[in-house]
C-alpha cells in the first residue's frame, strides 16, 4: 500500500477491513463503505460492476476495480484481472463482457445468446480456456475467433484461472486500462507473488495492444478505431451522434430484442430507444461478419477514432514499459509506441479551434463537433506537448467543464443538448475524473488535481457510490453500489492529502 502507515483493524462492514491510519473517523467510514461494496460485488471469481444492472464481468471496469482492490484485497485484484484475461481471444482482443454462466439471459441484455447468435459456443462469442493468445507471438488470424484457441507461441497458460467452466464473451472491446491497473496493484506490494502475476499478464497485455494497433488501425494512421460506441465505454456520448446518425434506426430490432436496462433504472437516465436500436444494428453487423476486422472500412457502419480510447492505449504502453522492466523484457518499444500514439493523437484528433481533442469518423473523415470529456483524456499522456496541455487545462477550467464543488461533467455544460441525467451526455463519472486527475498530476497541475480529488471525495461522502452523478446537485444516478466508484474512492482516500 502507498500509505504504509500503521493500520487499524475496523469492523462494521461484511468483512473486517484495514483502514489507513491517516483517515479520520468520517473518512474511515467512507473507506469501510467502499470496501464493503467491493466485497458484496465479488462473486468468488471476479467482481461485477453492479449486482442490479451489470451481473457479469466488464473489461474496463476490471481495470479500475483492480486499482481499488489493491488497497483492500490485492489477491482479489490479481484474480479479477486473471479472470478477464482468461477470456482473451486468440487474436488478442479482450472482450468487453465475459459472461458468468451462472447468470440467466433474463438478468442482462444483450447477453451471450445475442453475441453468439444463439449458435454453439465459437460462433461469434467464444469459449475460453486461458491459453496465451496467438497474437502474443504470431500474427493474429485475421481477427477470426477460434474457439478454445491454443497458444501458438511458447508460453503455456493453464486452463483459465481455475475459475470454473469455460465462459462466453461478447466480441467487442473496451479501453485498455488493464496495464495501468496491473502496474498500480504491483507497485503497492511488489513482492514475488505480484511479480509472478505480472509475468502471466505481460504477454497477454502485449497481445491486447497488438490487436488494437493492427486489426483496428482502420484509418491507417496508427490510431485504433472503435467499431461500436460501447467500445469507448462512453456509450451514448454526443461525440458519436454524427457517426451514429448514418446508421438507420431499425425499429424491428427493438421488437426482436427487449431492453432490460430501462426496466432497472429510469429510461430518462439511459440511452434513448433510437440509439439503442442503432447499437444493436451495429453489433449485429459485426457479429454477422464473424467479428472479423478485415475490410471493416468497406462494410462496417460505425468506425470512429476516439481520443479517450487512444490516449488510454498510450498510457497502457507506458505502464507496459514499467512492467517490462520487472519481467525482464525490453521497455523501449513500449515507450516508442506511447510516443507515436501521442503524436498521432495530436496530428489527427486535436482541433485548434476548440482547443481540445475530438472523435474522428473514419468513414467520412470528419471530426465530431461535440466537446466531450474523452477529448480531455489525452492529458494522461506525459509526452503531450506543452501547447496541448495548456489548451486542455484551459478548457478544463472554463465554464464548459470547470471544476468547482463538482467534478468534471461528461459533456460541455454550455451545449444546448447537455442533459444532466442521461448517462454520458452530462453526468459526472468517477473513472473519467480519476484519469483526469492523474493526468493533471502528470503535468504538474497539482492545484487543480487536488480540487478535483476533493470534489470527487465529497461526492462519494455525500451521495454514495453511484454509477454516475447529477452534475449540479451531485445526486447519485443509475446503479447504486457501483464497483469502480467504490474502488477509485479507496484509491483517492489512500493518499494522505499533501
Ligand atoms: C454496455 C459496465 C458498463 C461500463 C460502461 C457503461 C455501461 C454497458 C451498458 O456499463 O455500458 O457495455 O449496458 O450500458 O457505459 O462504461 O463499462 O459498468
Find the 307 Cα to ligand 1 centroid distance in Å: 18
Q: Is the CB of 60 under 6 A from ligand 1?
A: yes
Q: Report the range of poorest mean pLDDT among 15-24, 205-214, 299-308, 347-356.
A: 15-24
Ligand 1 atom at minimal distance to the Cα of residue 423: 15
Look up 235 and say whether it is catalytic.
yes
Q: Provide the pLDDT confidence category of residue 252 given band limits of 50, 70 and 90.
A: confident
Look up 397 and say whether it is catalytic.
no
Find the 498 Cα to ligand 1 centroid distance in Å: 34
Residue nearest to ligand 1 atom 10, measured at CA: 54
Report whether pLDDT(131) > 80.
no
Find the 233 Cα to ligand 1 centroid distance in Å: 6
Find the 97 Cα to ligand 1 centroid distance in Å: 9
Q: Is the CB of 85 under 6 A from ligand 1?
A: no
64, 431 contact by CB (below 8 A): yes
Q: Is the CB of 54 under 6 A from ligand 1?
A: yes
Q: What is the pLDDT of residue 271?
A: 86
Residue nearest to ligand 1 atom 1, measured at CA: 230
200 SS3 class: helix
Mean pLDDT of 76-102: 97
Q: Is the CB of 235 under 6 A from ligand 1?
A: yes
Cα–Cα distance for residue pair 199/482, rounded to 1 Å: 30
- Selecting among 235, 241, 261, 305, the annotated active-site residue is 235
C-alpha cell read off for 342: 501521442
Mean pLDDT of 409-433: 98
Cα–Cα distance for residue pair 407/22, rounded to 1 Å: 24
Ligand 1 atom at minimal distance to the Cα of residue 96: 12
C-alpha cell read off for 340: 507515436
Of the two residues 149 and 81, the one the predictor is more confident about is 81
128, 160 contact by CB (below 8 A): yes
Ligand 1 atom at minimal distance to the Cα of residue 484: 18
Cα–Cα distance for residue pair 448/440, rounded to 1 Å: 7
Residue nearest to ligand 1 atom 6, measured at CA: 233
Find the 278 Cα to ligand 1 centroid distance in Å: 16
Report whether pLDDT(139) > 50.
no
Mean pLDDT of 220-245: 98
Q: Is the CB of 241 under 6 A from ligand 1?
A: no
Mean pLDDT of 56-80: 98
Mean pLDDT of 470-498: 94
Q: What is the pTM of this model?
A: 0.92
329 SS3 class: coil
Find the 425 Cα to ligand 1 centroid distance in Å: 14
Candidates 286, 280, 281; CA nearest to 299 is: 286
Q: What is the pLDDT of residue 266?
A: 87
Q: Provide the pLDDT confidence category of residue 250 given band limits of 50, 70 and 90.
A: confident
Ligand 1 atom at minimal distance to the Cα of residue 54: 2
Helices (H), 300-331: 307-327
How many CB atoms sit inside 10 A of residue 111's CB? 21
Q: Is the CB of 211 under 6 A from ligand 1?
A: no
Q: What is the pLDDT of residue 141?
A: 31
Residue nearest to ligand 1 atom 4, measured at CA: 233
Q: Provide the pLDDT confidence category of residue 301 given band limits of 50, 70 and 90.
A: very high
132 SS3 class: coil
Ligand 1 atom at minimal distance to the Cα of residue 49: 18
Q: Provide the pLDDT confidence category of residue 132 given band limits of 50, 70 and 90.
A: low
Choosing from 47, 56, 58 the residue with most ligand 1 atoms within 8 A of its CB, the one to mutate for a pocket test is 58
17, 32 contact by CB (below 8 A): yes
Find the 238 Cα to ligand 1 centroid distance in Å: 16
Cα–Cα distance for residue pair 33/55, rounded to 1 Å: 20
455, 407 contact by CB (below 8 A): yes
Q: Is the CB of 58 under 6 A from ligand 1?
A: yes
Q: What is the pLDDT of residue 10?
A: 43
Find the 287 Cα to ligand 1 centroid distance in Å: 19
CA angle 257, 261, 262 (to 5 degrees): 95
pLDDT digits (tens, 9 = 90+) for 352-404: 999 999 999 999 999 999 999 999 999 999 999 999 999 999 999 999 999 88
Amino acid at each position: 500500500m502507498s500509505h504504509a502507515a500503521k493500520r487499524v483493524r475496523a469492523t462494521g462492514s461484511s468483512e473486517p477491513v484495514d483502514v489507513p491510519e491517516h483517515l479520520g473517523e468520517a473518512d474511515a467510514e467512507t473507506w469501510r463503505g467502499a470496501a464493503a461494496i467491493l466485497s458484496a460485488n465479488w462473486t468468488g471469481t471476479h467482481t461485477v460492476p453492479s449486482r442490479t444492472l451489470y451481473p457479469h464481468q466488464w473489461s474496463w471496469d476490471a481495470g479500475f476495480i483492480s486499482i481499488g482492490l489493491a488497497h483492500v484485497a490485492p489477491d482479489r485484484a490479481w484474480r479479477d484481472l486473471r479472470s478477464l484475461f482468461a477470456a482473451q481471444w486468440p487474436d488478442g482482443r479482450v472482450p468487453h463482457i465475459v459472461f458468468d454462466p451462472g447468470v440467466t439471459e433474463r438478468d442482462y441484455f444483450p447477453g451471450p445468446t445475442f453475441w453468439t447468435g444463439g449458435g454453439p459456443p465459437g460462433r461469434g462469442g467464444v469459449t475460453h480456456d486461458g491459453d496465451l493468445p496467438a497474437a502474443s507471438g504470431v500474427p493474429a488470424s485475421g481477427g477470426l475467433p477460434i474457439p478454445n484457441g491454443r497458444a501458438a507461441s511458447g508460453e503455456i497458460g493453464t486452463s483459465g484461472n481455475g475459475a470454473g467452466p469455460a465462459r462466453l464473451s461478447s466480441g467487442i472491446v473496451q479501453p485498455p486500462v488493464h496495464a495501468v491497473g496491473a502496474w498500480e496493484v504491483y507497485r503497492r506490494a511488489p513482492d514475488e507473488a505480484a511479480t509472478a502475476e505480472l509475468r502471466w499478464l505481460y504477454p497477454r497485455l502485449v497481445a491486447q495492444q497488438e490487436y488494437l494497433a493492427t486489426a483496428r488501425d482502420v484509418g491507417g494512421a496508427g490510431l485504433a478505431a472503435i467499431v461500436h460506441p460501447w467500445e469507448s465505454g462512453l456509450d451514448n456520448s454526443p461525440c458519436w451522434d454524427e457517426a451514429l446518425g448514418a446508421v438507420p434506426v431499425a425499429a424491428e430490432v427493438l421488437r426482436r430484442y427487449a431492453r432490460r436496462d430501462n426496466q432497472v433504472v429510469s429510461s430518462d437516465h439511459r440511452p434513448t430507444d433510437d440509439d439503442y436500436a442503432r447499437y444493436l444494428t451495429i453489433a449485429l453487423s459485426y457479429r454477422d461478419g464473424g467479428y472479423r476486422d478485415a475490410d471493416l472500412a468497406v462494410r462496417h457502419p460505425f468506425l470512429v477514432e476516439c481520443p479517450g480510447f487512444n490516449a488510454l492505449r498510450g498510457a497502457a504502453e507506458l505502464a507496459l514499459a514499467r512492467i517490462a522492466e520487472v519481467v525482464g523484457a525490453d521497455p523501449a518499444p513500449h515507450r516508442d509506441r506511447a510516443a507515436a500514439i501521442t503524436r498521432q493523437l495530436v496530428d489527427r484528433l486535436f482541433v485548434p479551434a476548440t482547443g481540445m481533442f475530438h472523435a474522428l469518423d473514419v468513414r467520412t473523415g470528419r471530426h465530431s463537433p461535440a466537446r466531450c470529456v474523452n477529448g480531455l483524456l489525452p492529458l494522461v499522456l506525459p509526452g503531450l506537448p506543452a501547447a496541448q496541455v495548456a489548451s486542455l487545462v484551459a478548457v478544463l477550467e472554463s465554464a464548459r467543464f470547470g471544476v468547482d464543488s463538482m467534478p468534471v461533467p461528461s459533456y460541455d455544460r454550455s451545449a444546448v443538448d447537455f442533459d444532466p441525467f442521461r448517462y454520458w451526455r452530462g453526468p459526472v463519472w468517477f473513472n473519467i475524473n480519476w484519469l483526469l486527475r492523474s493526468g493533471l498530476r502528470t503535468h504538474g497541475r497539482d492545484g487543480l488535481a487536488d480540487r478535483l480529488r476533493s470534489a470527487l471525495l465529497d461526492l462519494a461522502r455525500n451521495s454514495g457510490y453511484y454509477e454516475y452523478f447529477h452534475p449540479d446537485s451531485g445526486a447519485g444516478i443509475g446503479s447504486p453500489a457501483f464497483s469502480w466508484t467504490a474502488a477509485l474512492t479507496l484509491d483517492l482516500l489512500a493518499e494522505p492529502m499533501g
